[in-house]
Structure formats: structure tokens, C-alpha cells
Structure 1
């Protein structure tokens, strides 16, 4: 056995974040492949990295290759088991197989919870809230309860996705008045621990919901403020047109 003295025994989410570029999954896959082969990482860390290689391949719709990568991993911990189940679930959901995906996400949530990895637990719960039709609100509420106990800023960022996704579920189901507090809460999380893009999107979602509620003056003020920051954003432009000219939005 080789010397493991200087190996990184665990993989921090911040390292995975630096390797990820969701707008360029091909380049991300190359970085993950290189990292998965890097003996500076421990076996468990390389296993976790390999699951992200599978995710990048899935984003490129190379589903068979992604499954092969996951099949090649012999998990050495509940954390790796959680990541494998999570990525298998994402692959199945991407191929319109939610019935197969939901048990995988459930397994991921349980394994992550048993390993006391709150970040992965929330990731799995947020996927369940997307995939498990008819139980969206239930899974979101479970996620909110877990989120209340989260202390790390990167982990608390899941509050953005959980509240935003539930907001859209309610909004698109004709429950805009119930959706607005979730959009507002998502924006609060984005301002606290999120990215610049999340803050921008959060403001847009609040304004969009205000339009649905008939609060058009407030919505227009917010959309014009967003237009000053990103004049070429098509979604902002479409909302301003809808608010000023009564035209359909880009989503419609």
C-alpha cells in the first residue's frame, strides 16, 4: 500500500464547487476525471469526485457512460453511498423516470443523514421535492426542518433552492399568494449566503409573483431596477413588456 500521509482524506464541497462549471459540463468532466485519478486524494475522496464526473456526463446526456462510472465505484462510506444514489436518481429523473428516481433520492437522503452530512441530506430532499409528484410540499417541509439546524453558509444556501422551488410549485398551481412568502424567503437566503445570480433570480421571482397577484406597480419598479443591472436579460425585458404593454412573457 502506498504512503497516504499527505492525502486529503475527505472532499470538501468547496473543492467540488471549484471543479464545477454547470454551464460547461464537458470541461467539468475533464476536471473531475483528472481529480478522480489524482492520488493526492484518498480513496473515499476520489470516489466522491467520480460521482461528480458521472453527474457531468449526465448533463451531456451521456447516460450510459454516467451509469458505468457509478457502477465502477465500490463505496467505502455512507457518504459515497449517498452520492451514488443521488446521482443515479438525477440520471433517472433526466430520462423522465421519476418512479425510479424517487427511491434513489430517498436512499440518498437516508445515507447522508446517517453519515451526518447535512449538505447532501438537503440536496437529496430538494430532489425529492422536485421528483415526488404529490408530495412536493411534504419534502420541502422536511428540508426546511433540516435547514434550521444547518450552520455552514454553503449548506444554508440550500434554502434558496428549497424555497424557490416550492414557490414555483405553488405559483404554477394557482396559489400565488402562498408562493410569495417562499420567493421572499429564497431571496433572503440568497442575500445571506447565495451567489450574485441567485440574488438576481430571487428578485426576479418575487417581482414575477407580484405581477400574478396584480401588484403591478411594485413588480415594475423591481423589474426596472433589475434592468439597470442587466440591460440585456431577456426575462427581465419580457416582464417589463408584460407590465407596460400587456404582452405575453417569454415563459408563456
Structure 2
């Protein structure tokens, strides 16, 4: 596609507004080119930056524009529009409207393997996220994992870390903490073996292991995981509210309330800045920080 960059290289999912600036700067050059498929994909990713900021009307407007340019041969661009339309609906709490779009993208991608494997796996993983039935969720997780383990596409195989993580949380939500821990440990091993630490995914994988250990009441081990993560930030200005929160929860469960209190306070200070955490969770952190 001429000299245009691969769109995924411009993404910072922790900063959708900043990513939108990069996409917007690229747009005039793309509009002046004859790369219509790339143009559609760019608009779909611009829409995603809006979805992540809960600007759903803006997202749908961009997707409407993108879809007017689609032709029958644009398999991947069409898949990306379906995926982003589905994500916009799902993030807005309309999973029932999202699921048919994810399924359509999945079916379309399976007819265009392996070129579309990355986005086909994406569609399967979104089916698992949006599907309300836990048993069906597991089937989609497993389907996505099978594809990621079998694909010849190196980038598509890179889904494995996220898929292990999602599957681990599905088991955790089901109360199957032993299985969740095994999957989280597999995710961590895969991240470390593949040097996958962008952005901080190895730390996140360690955190998940620690969280499952707490659910299993293996509290000393869980606390040690979070203390090790805290130590990783000792020589930097970076802070992680989720690590503070887990440290506090482990200490509280160990009946070390006085030690837990300042970590609850630090967790509240950091996590209240996110803008999307559940109010009840923030209120609990604040209450426990006060004793």
C-alpha cells in the first residue's frame, strides 16, 4: 500500500486520543491517494479511537463513511468495519447488536485464510467477550486459541497472550480459580518466552497470577507477587493503582488492616483518575483507606 504505515504500528490503546491525532494527520495523504481499501481501514481505526473514548456517535459516523467506499473484493477492510461497528455497540452496552457483526466478520475471514487470520481471530475473541452465555464464551475462546496456535501468520499468532488472558478471566469469573491460575501462568510463560511486554503486558500477566492466587486464598504467595511488582516501580515515577489495590486486598485478607490502609489510599488516588472504574469500587477503596 504505497508508503503508508501499517495501522497497528500507530496504535497506543492506552492513549486513543493521541492515536487519533496520528490517524488524522495521515488522513489527507490517504484521501489524495487511490488506496481505497487502506482508506476504509484508516476510517475504521479512527472510529475505534472514538469508541474507546465512548464517543459512539462519532464512531458510527466514520464507519458509515467507510462503508460507502467498500467493494466486494475488500475482505479485510469490510471485516474491520464490522469489527469496529460491533465494538462500538458492545462498548455502549448493546451486545445483542454487536454479536451478529462479529459473527459476520468471523465467517468472512474464514473464507479468506490465512490473509485475514489476524482479524478472524479478533472476531472470535470479540464473540467470546460479547456472548452472555459462559459455555458459549468458552467455545469461542477455544476456537480463537486453536486458530492462533495453528496460523502461519506471525502477527496473528501474537493473539495468544491476550487469548490466554481472556480465557483465564472467563474461568475466574466462573469461580474455577485453579483453572484460571493455570491459564494465567500459561499466559505469563508465553509473554516471557516471546518477549511480549508492550505495553507492560508481562507485568499485567504477573498481576493476573497474583489475583488468582488471592482467589485461591494462597494469600502469602499472592502478596509476594504484588510486592515484587511494586518493587519494579521503585526506581521510576510510574505508579500502578491496580498493584496498590491488590496489595491492600491481600493485606486486608491477612488481617493486616493498618498496613493495608495506605495502599488503599494510593489505589484510590491513582484509579480515580481513570474515569471508567466502577463508582462502587472507588467508594470501597476510599472507605477502606480511611479505616
TM-score of the superposed pair, with normalisation by structure 2: 0.76
The 5 A counterparts of 1:123-142 are 123-134=122-133, 135-142=136-143
Give the aligned partner of residue 96 of structure 2: 99
Q: Deviations over 1:182-237 (max 9, x none)?
A: 11122123221522411000001001101211222322222221111024322222
Q: Which moved more, 1:184-193 or 1:137-146?
A: 184-193
Secondary structure of 2:217's counterpart equals coil
Aligned mates of 1:37, 1:149 — CA distance in 2: 38
Give the aligned partner of residue 59 of structure 1: 52
Give the aligned partner of residue 182 of structure 2: 181
Aligned mates of 2:43, 2:190 — CA distance in 1: 30
Maintained 8 Å contact 2:79/2:105: yes
Give the aligned partner of residue 244 of structure 1: 251
Point out 4+ residue stretches in structure 1 off by more than 4 angstroms: 247-252
Secondary structure of 1:37's counterpart equals helix
Secondary structure of 2:29's counterpart equals coil
Unaligned runs of 5+ in 1: 1-5
Give the aligned partner of residue 21 of structure 1: 12
Q: Report how far residue 67 of structure 1 moved.
A: 1.2
Q: Report how far residue 103 of structure 1 moved.
A: 0.5
Q: Deviations over 1:15-68 (max 9, x none)?
A: 223322223322322322332332467221121111101111222222222112
Maintained 8 Å contact 1:153/1:193: no
Which residue, 218, 224, 235 being the options, matches 1:221? 224
RMSD: 2.3
TM-score of the superposed pair, with normalisation by structure 1: 0.87
Q: Report how far residue 93 of structure 1 moved.
A: 0.4
Unaligned runs of 5+ in 2: 268-280, 285-291
Aligned mates of 1:245, 1:63 — CA distance in 2: 39
Does residue 233 of structure 1 match 2:240? Answer: yes
The 5 A counterparts of 1:44-83 are 44-73=37-66, 74-76=69-71, 77-83=74-80
Q: Which moved more, 1:141-150 or 1:215-224?
A: 215-224
Give the aligned partner of residue 157 of structure 2: 156
Q: How many residues align?
A: 243
Aligned mates of 1:153, 1:183 — CA distance in 2: 22
Q: Report how far residue 161 of structure 1 moved.
A: 1.6
Aligned mates of 2:180, 2:56 — CA distance in 1: 34
Maintained 8 Å contact 2:117/2:153: no
Give the aligned partner of residue 122 of structure 1: 121
Q: 1:235 to 1:66 in 2, by over 3 A?
A: closer
Does residue 36 of structure 1 match 2:31? Answer: no
> Bigger relative contact order, structure 1 or 2, given CA contacts below 8 A and separation 6+?
1
Aligned mates of 2:120, 2:252 — CA distance in 1: 45
Aligned mates of 1:213, 1:132 — CA distance in 2: 26
Q: Report how far residue 245 of structure 1 moved.
A: 3.8
